[in-house]
Structure 1
C-alpha cells in the first residue's frame, strides 16, 4: 500500500471514529480533536511523553477492551480467552527478544503497577516463600493465625534503598507519599554535591550501612547514564536484590544506545518499565525478570493487579514489534544526539544545567540563575507554547512543589523529525522566554514563588518561531480530520 493510501486510510478511520464518538458525547469528540491541534502546535519537551504510531493508537480501540482475562497464558479464570492468550504471548515474546530478557510480564497497567509487582515479587521470593517452606505450608491460607501475623510483620519491615527524589529518583522508589514508602523501611542515596553525578562508593557505603533487601536503580530526572554492573556489585555485596526502573530510558536500551554495563537487563534481578516515554508505545507497564523470579512475577494478578487490559497488551505487542526494527534503533540514537544538542544550546547561552550536561534523553535546567522558580518557568514557557514540567534539583531550596528546575526531554520532538539545528533553536527560544520573565508579587507585596510577569510580545514571538519549525515536521503527517 502506498504512503498516500495509508494516510487516506488513517484519516478516514479517525474521522469515522470521532463521528461515532460525537454522536454520543460531542464534547469528548471536540476535546479529542482539540488535543490533536494543541499537540501539533506545541513544542512538547516533557521527557515522559512521546507520540505513539497510528498503528499503536488504533490497536488500543478494539473489542479486546471487552474481555476479562485474569490469570496467565493458558491458565485463565474466565473462559474464551484463547485470543487474549495469543496477544499476551506475542507481546511477551517481543519483549524478551527486544531486551534479551529471560522472562517478560506485560500485564501491568502503568509504571507504578509494574513497580508494585516487582516489589511484591521480591517480598514473596525472599520473605513469604522461605517462611512458608519453614512451616511446610503451600500458601498463606495454610498458616496458623499466629504464624500469619508473624509473616505479615516480616513483610512490612523489609528495607529498600533508592535514589533520592531531588537527585533524580522517582516517587515510586520508596517515598512516603507513594505506597512504596509505606511498604518498606526506606532510605535514599543521592549524588555528589559538587558534580551532581552518582558516587558509587557513596552508594556502596550507604548500602553497607543500611543493609537493604531491595536496591533500586533508575531515575526520572538524572541526565546521565548509570553503570548497572557496579550497582549489581553493590547489591551482591550486601545480599540485596537489584531492581532497575528503566521507564524513562527503555527506548535507549531497546535501541542499543545503552549497551554493556549501561544496559540494566543483564545485571538486574528485576527490571520494570513503562511502555510509553522513549519506547513510544501505549501507556502501560512491563516487568522483565531473571527466571528465578518468574513464578512470583506471574502472580502479579491478583497479587496487586486487577484483570489485564487485553487491548493495551495488544498495543504493547505492536509497539514492541516496531521497536525491533533498525528504524527504531536509528531513532533511539537521534534521541540521545538531540539531547546533547539541546544541552549544548543551553550551555552556550549561559544557562546552568544539573551535572553540566547530558548523555541520555533528558536535560535538567536550573532556573534559579534566571531568578525564577520551576513553577514560574514552567507556566511562562507554557504561555509561549513550550510544554515542559518543573522538577527538583539536588538540594532544592524550593522543595518539590515550586522546585528550582525544569526538565526537558527529546523523545517526542525527535519522533516529529527535529534534529540538531531545531533543538539548538529550541534552547534559544527557552532562554528568550526565561530571560524575559520576572517573578510576580503576593498581595502582601512579597516576591511570589508562583506568579510571574512575562515580557510584552515574548510569547507571540516564541510561538511564531516555534510554528516555523513545527510546520516543517508535522505531527501525524497525512492525518486530516477536516
Structure 2
C-alpha cells in the first residue's frame, strides 16, 4: 500500500471511529468516554505486556458488525440454526487462511479464547484416544447409546487420564495442569520444570519424567519461558511413551506465522494438536484457534457442542482479516523485528546489571528477576505503572514469593515493535525501567511490618521516566493519523 492509499485508509478509519463513538455516546456516554480514554492511555504508555499487541483498524472494525447477531452452533454446513450461510463463508475463509498461514492440515477457528482452545484440544484428545475406542468396544456409536452403568465407567475412565505440562514457575501456563485451573482438575496431572542452574528446558529430564509418569497428553509451549523449544525432540519423547503431543503456542504464534521459528522450532509439523490465541504476537482479535492433523480433525470439529456454545461470527471474521494480514511479507519483517528487539531489551538490562531468567532471550519476551532490587514482582509492576511503563509481574523458577506477589516481571516486545520501536528505543526502555527499579524501596504494612505489595518510589522519578518515554512515543505514534475529534 502506497502513502496515498495509506492516508486514505487512515482518514476512513478516523471517520468510522468518530461516528461509532457518537452513536455509542447517544446511548451510554460513559462507555464512549472510557473507549476514547483507553486509546489515549495506550498511546501514552510504554506497553510491554508480552500477551498484548495493537490490532489494525481493519481487524478492529471487522468486530463491530451485525455478524455478532447470528447464532451458528455447529460447523460449516452443519449448523443447529437456519440461515447461517454467511457465517459458513466467514468461518471457511478464516480456516483457509489459518491452514495456509501455518501449514496445518486442519484449522478450527471457533474458540473464544486461549483457554477455550485448550479445552477443545484436551477434550478432543480424550474423545479420540479414550472415548472412541471405548464406544467401539461397547458397540455404541455415541455416548447416548450407553447404559447408565457403562457411561459412569467411561466417565471415570476419562477423568483418570494423565497430563504432563510445564510448571507455572518454569514458564508454563495456568491451563497446562495448574491445580486451581480446570486443566488441573480434569486430569491426573504432573508438571515438568527447567534446569535449576540454567533455567533452560532439560530434554533428558523431561524424557525421564514422561517415562515415569506415562501421560496421555504431553503439553509443550509456554507463557513466560524466554527461549525457543525443539519440538522435534519433544515429539520423540511423546512418541516413546505413547502420548499425544499438544503444543500451546499462544505467545509465540506470531513468530511461527512470521517464519522466525522454523524447522524443529515450528510446532505445527511435530505436534498432533496445536492451540493458540490470536491477539498476542499475531496482532488479531481476542480469540483462539486449534490446529490439528487430519487424525484429530473430526474430534476437534466437535468443539461445539462438546465445549463451546455459539461461535462469535464477528470475531471469526476479524480472525480471517488478521490471518490475511499475517500472510503478507510485511508480517515476516515485523516478526523478525519482534525477536531482534527482545534481544536488544535483554542486552539493555544485562549491560545495566539486570538479572534475567536463562540469562537472555531468543523469542519475544524477557523475564527480569527483580529480587536484586529488593522488590517483589508486584512492587515492581506497580512502581513501573506509576511511571507509565505497563508490565506484568510473573513467577520465576523456584519463586520464593509465590504466584501472586512473584519475584519477576515479564516484558514483551510485540506491541512496541508494532509502533515502530527498534534497537535504540528498547535499550532506552531498559534504561528507564532500571531507573525506576533502582529508585524504588519496599514499603511497610499498616502495622509497620515488611510488605510484599507496598513500595516507595523516589520523588521525581515517575515524571522523569514519563517525559523520556513521551519523546520515544511521539516519534512512533499509535494508529498515526487516526483522530477521534
TM-score, length of structure 2 as denominator length: 0.99
Structure 1: 4+ residue segments shifted above 4 A: none
1:27 equivalent in alignment to 2:23: no
In structure 1, the partner of 2:353 is 350
The alignment partner of 2:97 has SS state of helix
Query: CA shift at 1:2, angstroms?
Result: 2.6
Give runs of aligned pairs for residues 210-359 of structure 1, distance below 5 A.
Answer: 210-359=213-362
Aligned to 2:295, what secondary structure does the other structure show? helix
Which stretch shows the higher mean deviation, 140-149 or 108-117?
140-149
SS in 2 for 1:349: coil
- 2: CA distance, partners of 1:14 / 1:445: 50
Aligned: 1:51 with 2:23:
no
CA RMSD, Structure 1 to Structure 2 (Å)? 0.5
Is 1:139 the counterpart of 2:148? The answer is: no
CA distance in 1 between counterparts of 2:483 and 2:206 reads 52
Deviations 1:22-63 (A, max 9, x none): 000000000000000000000000000000000000000000
Tell me which residue corresponds to 1:111: 114
Aligned equivalent of 1:201: 204
1:288-316 CA distance string (max 9 Å, x none): 00001000000000000011000000000
Match of 1:477 among 452, 477, 480: 480
Q: 2:40 aligns with which of 33, 37, 40?
A: 37
Deviations 1:390-427, CA, capped at 9 Å, x for gaps: 00000000000000000000000000000000000000
In 2, Cα distance between equivalents of 1:243 and 1:230: 13
Query: What's the counterpart of residue 403 of structure 1?
Result: 406
Measure the CA separation in 1 of the matches of 2:10 and 2:183: 45
Q: Which runs of 5+ in 2 are unaligned?
A: none
Displacement, 1:8?
1.3
Aligned partner of 1:169 among 167, 172, 184: 172
* Cα distance, 1:361 vs structure 2: 0.1
DSSP 3-state at the match of 1:126: helix
Which residue of the partner structure matches residue 455 of structure 1?
A: 458
Q: Deviations over 1:68-112 (max 9, x none)?
A: 001111111111111111100000000000000000000000000
Q: Distance in 1 between matches of 2:445 and 2:392?
A: 23
- Distance in 2 (alpha carbons) for counterparts of 1:434 and 1:18: 39
Distance 2:15 2:129 in 1: 53
Q: In the alignment, which residue of structure 1 is the partner of 2:129? A: 126
Deviation, structure 1 residue 13? 0.3
Q: Does 1:95 align with 2:98?
A: yes
The farther-off stretch of 70-79 and 281-290 is 70-79
Aligned counterpart, 1:365:
368
**Residue number in structure 2 paired with 1:420:** 423
- Please report the TM-score for the alignment, with normalisation by the length of structure 1: 1.00
**What displacement does 1:176 show?**
1.3
Structure 1 position 3, deviation (Å): 2.5
| Superposition map of 1:373-384 within 5 A | 373-384=376-387
Deviation at 1:446, TM superposition (A): 1.6
Distance across 2 between alignment mates of 1:238 and 1:8: 57
Structure 1, unmatched stretches of 5+, are none
Question: Partner of 1:78: helix, strand, or coil?
Answer: coil
